[in-house]
Chains A and B, each alone.
Chain A
Amino acid sequence: MIKIENLYKSFGELEVLKGIDEHIKEGEVVAVIGPSGSGKSTFLRCINLLEKPTKGKISIDGEEITNEKININGIREKVGMVFQHFNLFPHKNVLENLTLAPIKVRKMTKEDAEKLAFELLGKVGLKEKAYEYPNKLSGGQKQRIAIARALAMKPEIILFDEPTSALDPEMVKEVLDVIKELAIEGLTMMVVTHEMGFAREVATRLFFMDEGKILEQGDPKKIFDNPKEERTKEFFSKIL
């Protein structure tokens, strides 16, 4: 589904991604872990072109998105994104946050978009907040709304960029539960995370990144129980 070949990304002199080759299949839940500065977020952001790769190819469904001539907005309709800091639109209420893109981009009617929005709000358990503004919500609620907003575009894959890192500890679970449910339903996703328990339990595959490369990848349980690389062992010994 997503094919990444020889991906490089530099910010000026600083080389952040140093050659990534991966293939992510439909229905996979990929957890990306690694020390800070290892390029996890940049890797994720390259996949919907929030960062433009310096070198290499990324294809989604056989369509090469790193091609200059591609319609970037069409790609982004297929690839949803959930951010660390939620990035809800503060001047729009929850319902408008969810319906904006379906109406403006997918050209849905307002009725259809609102029907879908209420369905998704039900799914994340926040139907009663439809007419609230984001500033009236807790962090956990905001992130669940952000997930519903991404889902409203019916993406084929959702990228989660540290979805629980900005949350108070007691709100982490409610967000992870929503993501877990999506995983069970078979939605393809990539999750950059520091929640090792989540990575171990929910992910079907684990990427361990260090210094701009995927150092080790495979079945999460195997890697957690028996890491092959020295660097992975060292990382686990520091955090587990």
Chain B
Amino acid sequence: MERMGFLEIFLGDKRYMYILKGLGFSLEVTIISALIGLFLGIVMALLKISHCYPFRKLAKKGYIKLAKFNPLSGLAVIYIDLIRGTPAVVQLMILANVVFVGALRDIPILLVAGLAFGLNSGAYVAEIIRAGIEGLDKGQMEAARSLGLTYPLAMIQIIIPQAIKNILPTLVSEFIILLKETSIVGFIGGVDLLRSANIITSQTYRGVEPLLTVGVIYLILTGIFTYFMRIVERRMKASD
């Protein structure tokens, strides 16, 4: 058989469509999971640093441990440790093969994957946000409170704007990690960028070119985000 040309690999039978569709799927999963992750991350970070001690009155009766128990923070810690302590592939497969079965079987892979990566990313985002808030000078909160601002008002006006500024670069890099991580979605049958390369390989018996192409596409995508991140970082430095 004559050796297939580079263009023929992708243009023949419109095989480039696999790449385009895969790219679209990868981006969709990334965006869905980034939104879920950001939302979960903010909620979990706020829970983790919350001061909710429903049993604090028991301290006077000697139940010191119980008085210091913070159920909201505990919940966030369990979630974060669970997610960060297990591989994303395992979480993805558990969600697809253990949770989304039976009546839930027909839920599209896009949503299952989005949820899996969103749950995963949320734990990392929560830690980024928490570190951003706790990294601020304690005096900022004290100054705000001493002026009579309520805790929520101090958070909104003083703490969160400064925290966001500090964590934005880290958040963008978490987004980049997320984009790359979605390449494991093939494990549950999602046809993403990487999987599309496999499909082209199986049709053309050519393994190198599709994989390299996919690699280059990932590189371009992450390059774009990194570029924007650098611009944002430079702007922030300028206003410091």
Contacts and interface: CB of A to CB of B under 8 A. Distances in A.
Contacts of B157: 100, 104
A80 B146 contact: yes
Interface string A59-97: 000000000000001101101110101011111000000
B13 interface: no
A91 B240 CA distance: 8
A80 B142 CA distance: 12
B93 interface: no
Interface string A38-56: 0000000000101000000
Main secondary structure of the interface of B (DSSP, over half): helix
Contacts of A79: 146
Interface string A135-178: 10000000000100110010000000000000000000000000
Interface residues of B, number: 19
Contacts of B139: 83, 85, 87
A149 B50 CA distance: 28
Contacts of B145: 50, 73, 76
Contacts of A146: 143
A100 B137 contact: no
B148 interface: yes
A89 B142 CA distance: 11
B146 A91 contact: no
B140 A83 contact: no
A89 B146 contact: no
Contact of A73 (B137, B142, B150, B158): B150
A64 B148 CA distance: 17
Closest 10 CB pairs of A and B: A87-B143, A101-B147, A87-B139, A77-B148, A81-B146, A105-B148, A76-B148, A73-B148, A91-B161, A73-B150
Given A50-B146, A74-B148, A83-B142, 10 more contacts: A85-B137, A87-B139, A89-B143, A90-B162, A100-B147, A100-B157, A105-B149, A135-B240, A150-B147, A153-B147
16 contacts: A48-B146, A50-B142, A73-B149, A76-B147, A76-B148, A77-B147, A77-B148, A83-B139, A87-B142, A87-B143, A89-B143, A91-B162, A91-B165, A100-B157, A105-B147, A105-B149
